[in-house]
Amino acid sequence: MRKLWHFIDGEQVAGTSGRYGVVYDPMTGEAQAKAPLASAGETRAAIANAAAAFPGWAAENPQKRARVMFRFKALVEENMQPLAEMLSREHGKVIADSIGDIQRGLEVIEFACGIPHLQKGEFTEGAGPGIDMYSMRQPLGVCAGITPFNFPAMIPMWMFGIAIACGNTFVCKPSEKDPSVPLRLAELMLEAGAPKGVLNVVVGDKESVDTILTDPHVEAVSFVGASTTAEYIYATAAANGKRVQAMGGAKNHMIIMPDADLDQVCDALVGSAYGSAGERCMAISVAVPVGQTTGDALIEKLAPRVEALKVGLSTDAEADYGPMVTGEHLAKVRACVDNGVEEGADLVVDGRGFTLQGYEKGFFMGGCLFDHVTPEMSIYTDEIFGPVLSVVRADDFEAALRLPSEHQYGNGVSIFTRDGDAAREFASRVQVGMVGINVPIPVPLAYHTFGGWKRSAFGDTNQHGAEGVKFYTKIKTVTSRWPEADMRSGADFTIPTMK
Ligand code: NAD
């Protein structure tokens, strides 16, 4: 079977640990490649390589670093179709969605092209007699990114795009389930002019992650994945003195006010709950109609739309969504639906039995729709990460507002209404990090920042935008004094003040 590799010092490097993970073809259910699982030693070697590349890269002027980003963007655009096909083949999402995955990552690269401006410090002339004060933002050193399976292009680019533009070197540890696109992106970065060692990719599992979290050369760790992993990454990296930002899971609600346009709501819900088979951290997984009449009307309109979803091959341009990433994940999602039925929720549309003709072993699942879900049920409290939508009915606006605000996760939330006052009140009071008003997937653009609240994010800096630049740089403030030659100062033993 085809074996994948690591990408270290500008070269494809075969794994030597003797341990491999399986990369499946989600459409057929068969293994398509073996992913090397890096040992601690292989991971340390990649980190050491990035550390050796750091001084040279950090010394490049920011416009040269920006030019590499411009070339990288152009190269990814030229390679869009093959990259998207590669992504779909391992992840299972349809090609249009893979293009979206790459495009959203490229938007962060576009943002990083502005690094000469973004990384500028501040200057105060004449802070005191003969005294000027200025600050600079310097790179940290080796930064690492540990990324999930569900956005194998966008999330690595969120991280290494800004880290590298700021003058850091980077070790990416992508998901072992679909590592080919991050490996290819590292080749394109080299082709774009980033020196060898500036971007290394190590394919691995917990062993290589634990090495990253404890290696003294690693200055900062960015993570995106499940909340249990995020919490562990945050605690371990912080205990080892590293900067850390760790994004976790989600349970994103959509509040549907009685005045909302239900056709628009249904369009938004089918796209955001079932697109990419629900394997998106910003997928809407809970719909909250306000009032029983709204709830009944919603189910009446939505159920046939869910039944009509076209589940198909990733390569089928007509398919609404493709297979799930692995058989293990499919089994987990099916078990969540079984639990919902056992707990007494009303399974209005049951997609558990779906198979695609000719691809019976593929990891496909039909859309599921639950009604009368209550906040104690596990299908409400836990992230499912599959094509499953739960309807939780709320009696009024206040009850609807409490649901996402009191949930353990606080990634995204959305309200559909024609009432500006209600929308404004909701956006102000809801305890969630990213809010959509008549927008179902409120993912901020690259020049804003991405991050949830509560158990959806550990650490206090968001991804990309100005916060990304802040995360990947440290500030140094210089106070300089050039006294006139004939000025005598003498010793002063009080704390300096500048009147
Ligand atoms: P995951 O936590 O299983 O894996 C993420 C990364 O952590 C992978 O690289 C994996 O190899 C590594 N990892 C897994 N278990 C580990 C352990 N015990 N110790 C050390 N490293 C470990 O997540 P996933 O299944 O790949 O991705 C899906 C999850 O990611 C969902 O919960 C989803 O909500 C979340 N996600 C969140 C965001 C966000 O921005 N908040 C974005 C995308 C995905």
Hey, is 451 helix, strand or coil?
A: coil
Cβ(23)–Cβ(33) below 8 Å: yes
Ligand 1 pocket mutation pick from 158, 224, 285 by most atoms within 8 angstroms of CB: 224
Q: Which atom of ligand 1 is nearest to the CA of 250?
A: 34
Distance between CA atoms of residues 49 and 43, nearest Å: 10
Cβ–Cβ < 8 Å for 30, 49: no
What are the tens digits of pLDDT across the range 248-303? 999 999 999 999 999 999 999 999 999 999 999 999 999 999 999 999 999 999 99
Are 204 and 4 within 8 A, CB to CB? no
Q: How high is the pLDDT of residue 491?
A: 80
The fold adopted by the segment(s) 252-437 is Aldehyde Dehydrogenase; Chain A, domain 2 (3.40.309)
Other CB atoms closer than 10 Å to residue 120's CB: what's the count? 12
| C-beta separation of 214 from 43 below 8 A | no
pLDDT at 488: 62
- Please name the residues in contact with 341: beta carbons below 8 A apart, sequence gap of 6 or more: 347
Q: How many other CB atoms are found less than 10 A from the CB of residue 492?
A: 7
Pairing verdict, β 368-371 and 346-349: antiparallel
pTM recorded for the entire structure: 0.96
Alpha helix stretches (DSSP H) within 121-224: 154-165, 180-191, 206-214
What 3-state DSSP class applies to 75?
Answer: helix
Note whether 391 and 298 are within 8 A (CB). Answer: yes
pLDDT of amino acid 483: 78
Distance CA 445, CA 206 (A): 31
The architecture in CATH of the region 2-248+456-478 reads 3-Layer(aba) Sandwich (3.40)
User: From the CA of 117, how far away is ligand 1's center (Å)?
Assistant: 33
Kindly list the domain boundaries of the chain, sorted by start residue. Answer: 2-248+456-478, 252-437
| Helix, strand, or coil (residue 339) | helix
CA 275 to chain centre: 16
279 CA → ligand 1 middle, Å: 12
| Ligand 1 shell residues, CB under 6 Å | 146-151, 173, 175-176, 205-206, 209, 224-226, 229, 232, 247-250, 281, 383, 385, 411, 452, 456
472 close to 463: Cβ distance less than 8 angstroms: no
Mutate to test the pocket of ligand 1, among 108, 175, 286, 328 (most ligand atoms within 8 A of CB): 175
User: Buried (b) or exposed (e) across 174-187, using 16+ Cβ within 10 A?
Assistant: bbbbbbbbbbbbbb
Amino acid at residue number 293:
T
Side chain identity at residue 146, one-letter code: I
For ligand 1, the distance from its centroid to the CA atom of residue 150, given in whole angstroms, is 9
Using the mean position of ligand 1's atoms as its centre, give its distance from the Cα of residue 401 in Å. Answer: 28
Check 113, 266, 281, 368 and give the catalytic one: 281
Per-10-residue mean pLDDT for the chain, 499 residues long?
97 98 98 98 98 98 98 98 98 98 98 98 94 97 98 98 98 98 98 98 98 98 98 98 98 98 97 98 97 98 98 97 98 98 98 97 98 98 98 98 98 98 98 97 95 97 96 97 72 78
Contact 420, 196 (CB under 8 A): no
Task: Report the C-alpha gap between 462 and 154 in whole angstroms.
Answer: 15
Question: Best of 172, 208, 281 to mutate for ligand 1, by most ligand atoms within 8 A of CB?
Answer: 281
* Closest ligand 1 atom to Cα of 383: 32
Ligand 1 closest atom vs CA 148? 26
DSSP state string for 226-295: -HHHHHHHHHHHHHTT-EEEEE----EEEEE-TTS-HHHHHHHHHHHHHGGGG--TT-EEEEEEBSHHHH
Which residues touch 402 (CB under 8 Å, ≥6 apart)? none
CA distance 92 to 94: 6
**What is the number of other CB atoms lying within 10 angstroms of the CB of residue 130?**
12
**Spatial distance between the Cα atoms of 418 and 258, rounded to a whole number of angstroms:** 9
281 is catalytic: yes
Please indicate whether the domains covering 2-248+456-478 and 252-437 agree at the CATH topology level.
no
